[in-house]
Structure 1
């Protein structure tokens, strides 16, 4: 009877070690996803904030300019991506704590809460900008809005690329939240 208790104790210790190993792996994945999300959102914010193009109109002295801050939606997009990238860089130390202490639960719950809020902000910014990018490419004849991408090619390429980076950030946030949920459920 005594020997059976030792076997159960050894099995429980082995199971606990395996769980800590899996949680540590999930925490490392969380760190990598946060780093990739930071790069994607910061790159999107920089790409959009530095987007502008000028086209001559009749003469060299009269020019049409297209800049991101001409549209408040793009300004919101830049601000949302900048806030999210700032949050991601500030959350990296917590992610490192989770690698070192894989049983940390309260900070993981706190991060899930803020991750969800940042996912909402990033999705709102990217979705609003996607509507304007669509109008820039296709226009809307009923509203008498013309597509500008035939004239402002470089501008449209940069805003579209910036939008792709932001949606990559959205997908990474979803993966971050799911991995944190997995780590919490394995407790």
Structure 2
């Protein structure tokens, strides 16, 4: 009788073991809750700014690449020509257009190189060095693109309207396809410049809140 009673009592021993498992899992739940709480207010805001910055960089790359390709492939030859003259318009004939292509190509290459750093700012929202570097180079890219687009825009204006004071004739009546492509390229470059300005603002806001 005593032995059977002792075996029954020994059968009740596993009950505390289940309680010990629950007590072991409880700290893990608390730690997980603490980790999720750390990512709540400031980190989510900075991560959202990082995502916006990444999207803006992709859009700016598309605009600058479109501008460089449109201008770099612009060439039109008129169907009529004489024995000594061949009427042809090419972007390489004007240094302003050549500078425009270089400026947009440099901006596009920089945007490709900056994408990994933008991803780092998304993964690590509180990082400061990468955001500061992007802010500096974005600020440098803004006047570069503005100079290229402004120089090309002045030539496009003369191509459309001419200048009667110096007897410069508008050529867009003959070279209509040439003028259409260079005008579109200038518009795309100005769009890229505007996106760069927004990227500078986003980076400045993110650094201000760090």
TM-score, L = length of structure 2: 0.80
Listed one character per residue, the Cα deviations across residues 15-55 of structure 1 (whole Å, up to 9, x for unaligned) are 97211101101100000000100010011000000000001
CA contact (8 A) 2:81 2:87 kept: no
Distance 1:58 1:177 in 2: 50
Counterpart check, 1:137 vs 2:160: yes
Q: Which has the higher contact order (CA 8 A, sep 6+)?
A: 1
Shift of 1:161: 0.2
Once the two structures are TM-superposed, the CA of residue 57 in structure 1 deviates from its matched residue by: 3.4
Q: Which ranges in structure 2 are unaligned for 5 or more consecutive residues?
A: 1-35
Q: How does the TM-score come out when normalised to structure 1?
A: 0.89
**Alpha carbons 1:56, 1:63 under 8 Å: kept:** no
The alignment partner of 2:77 has SS state of: strand
Cα displacement string for residues 134-176 of structure 1 (whole angstroms, at most 9, x for unaligned residues): 0000101111111100100000000000001000001000000
- Indicate yes or no: 2:208 matched with 1:185: yes
Aligned to 1:115: 138
1:34 corresponds to which residue? Answer: 57
Q: Which has the larger radius of gyration?
A: 2
5+ residue gaps, structure 1? 1-12
User: Which position in structure 1 is the counterpart of 2:9?
Assistant: none
**How many residue pairs were aligned?**
176
